[in-house]
Amino acid sequence: MNKKQLIEDDIKYIWRPFTQMKSLENDLNKPIIIKRGKGIYLEDIDGNKYIDAVSSWWVNTLGHSNKRLNKALERQSKKIEHVIFAGFTHEPVIEFSKKLVKLMNNKLTKVFYSDNGSTAVEVALKMAYQYQVLKGHPEKKKFIALKNSYHGDTIGAVSVGGIDMYHKLYKPLLFEIRQALSPYCYRCPMKCDKNTCKCECLNSVEDILKEEASQIAGIIIEPLVQAAGGMIMYPPKYITKLREICDKYNILLIDDEVAMGFYRTGKLFAYEHADIVPDIVCAAKGITAGYMPLSVTVTSQEIFNAFYDDDIDGYKTFYHGHSYTAYPLALSVALENLKILEEMKIEEYLKPKIAKFSKELEKFKNHKNVGDIRQTGMICAIELVKDKETKEPFAYEDGIGKKIYLEGLKMGAILRPMWNCIYFLTPYIITEKEIEKLTDIAYKALNKVLPMGD
Ligand SMILES: *Cc1c(COP(=O)(O)O)cnc(C)c1O
């Protein structure tokens, strides 16, 4: 089929995610047909190549069409592609679970499987609530979540979401939560200075708990980076202090590592930077290096023990599962991924790349519309503003992000900014030369859309 026909059919038959479908009438918004991928590059049907600077929605870590992952998938497909995960099990899931718990230093000990980040969060919320019930606290049924947070698009995950554009409309369908301030350092809700801050925004968490701790099951956070909220970044000490608060008021700390997990921040999980252990960790993106849908909800032995009982039909069972729970094809790739990362000595491997990004970000510093430059491990973000002094944001209608995206495409990079944020979240295998190339493209695209002369 030719390209024109393919796109016509795509638009005719498919309802795209996060997309006002009518906007596809505009030629500039037509989807690009990707034919193949290799390493950090995607190639479209016309042979144009693009740096995948968004890791195909934050999931790809080892590049496209990785030889070893391809092989692992092929090997497993010849053994068993899927089997019911009740009463049966298989080697990839056993080996992966054991490896993961060991990598987490046996601090969290039980791995529950589902197949995307949103469901990993649903599992965590249900487990947390049921844990409180089992501990004799059925009244602990509310969660605290943060403004600007994103935990997925299923109803429970939307309930704890804090981005009005995505979440507000569904409010009548959602369960009640308590919302605390977003640790948005660049636009600090407490008007604190980043250098002297003592995480005063955490007072908003404690204020809720002083009033209502007896009704709160737990708090859910995105560690270090509120990603979909606009790559909002905050320091590890926030998480360290939050752990103390959770202990003081006896609530669970649910750590949504869906975007940060599997070394995105430079460590296996972002919570390690804060030297604490959460009660529940959710992870998904990156777990199979971007190959297969898979997610985990990992809990403490303490939570698991509360469910452990002789009464097999009683309310202590965790009633949750999916058709594709512990999908063998996905687990085989996840396992191979862990082996590759281990052999690469991934933490050491990432250090020079993180430093290179940091150096290349310097070139954005003097641009008149660059309000903030931030970085956490392998994520960099540049927040654009209309006015540097007042930090006045561009209006959504200005479509600055969109314009930069289109310029980026012409130069061979998929930048896909969020609101007024340009960000880099690339596969880990990007070379230092490619980091230069990518940041150069972004810099040129920025200057094209917002020329320094104006
Ligand atoms: C992407 C994301 C999710 C949702 O994961 P899906 O696999 O898209 O359902 C949840 N939490 C965070 C922090 C995310 O970035």
pLDDT given at position 186: 96
> What is the domain-level CATH number for residue 140?
3.40.640.10
265 in ligand 1 pocket by Cβ < 6 Å? no
**This prediction's pTM:** 0.97
Beta carbons within 8 Å of 11's beta carbon, 6+ residues apart: 21, 24, 30, 31
> What is the domain-level CATH number for residue 441?
3.90.1150.10
Handedness of CA 133, 135, 141, 147 (dihedral sign): negative
Pairing of strands 216-221, 142-146: parallel
pLDDT digits 0-9 by tens, 341-369: 999 999 999 999 999 999 999 999 999 99
Kindly state whether residues 269 and 318 are assigned to the same domain: yes
Whether 175 is covered by a domain: the verdict is yes
The domain tally of the chain equals 2
pLDDT given at position 194: 86
Nearest CA to ligand 1 atom 10: 151
Structural domain boundaries enclosing 52: 32-65+346-449
Regions of the chain where pLDDT drops below 70: 454
CA of 335 to the centre of ligand 1 (A): 21
Q: Position 327: which residue type?
A: Y
The ligand 1 atom nearest the CA atom of 260: 13
- Which residue from 59, 281, 285, 322 has its CB within 8 A of the most atoms of ligand 1, so it is best to mutate? 285
pLDDT digits 0-9 by tens, 170-217: 999 999 999 999 999 999 999 999 889 999 999 999 999 999 999 999
Q: Position 246: which residue type?
A: C
Residue with tokens 């491997």: 349
Kindly state whether residues 126 and 273 are assigned to the same domain: yes
Beta carbons within 8 Å of 257's beta carbon, 6+ residues apart: 223, 269, 270, 271, 281, 282, 283
Kindly state whether residues 183 and 296 are assigned to the same domain: yes
pLDDT given at position 454: 58
Please provide residue 312's backbone torsions phi and psi, each rounded to the nearest 5 degrees: -70, -25
Cα–Cα dist 201/213, whole Å: 18
Whether 97 is covered by a domain: the verdict is yes
Whether 5 is covered by a domain: the verdict is no
152 in ligand 1 pocket by Cβ < 6 Å? yes
55 in ligand 1 pocket by Cβ < 6 Å? no
Cα–Cα dist 329/79, whole Å: 10
Cα–Cα dist 423/405, whole Å: 11
pLDDT given at position 107: 97
Sheet holding 34-38, edge to edge: 34-38, 41-44, 49-51
Rg (CA), the chain: 22
Whether 26 is covered by a domain: the verdict is no
Are 239 and 276 in contact by the 8 Å Cβ rule? The answer is yes
What average pLDDT is seen over the chain? Answer: 96
Whether 258 is covered by a domain: the verdict is yes
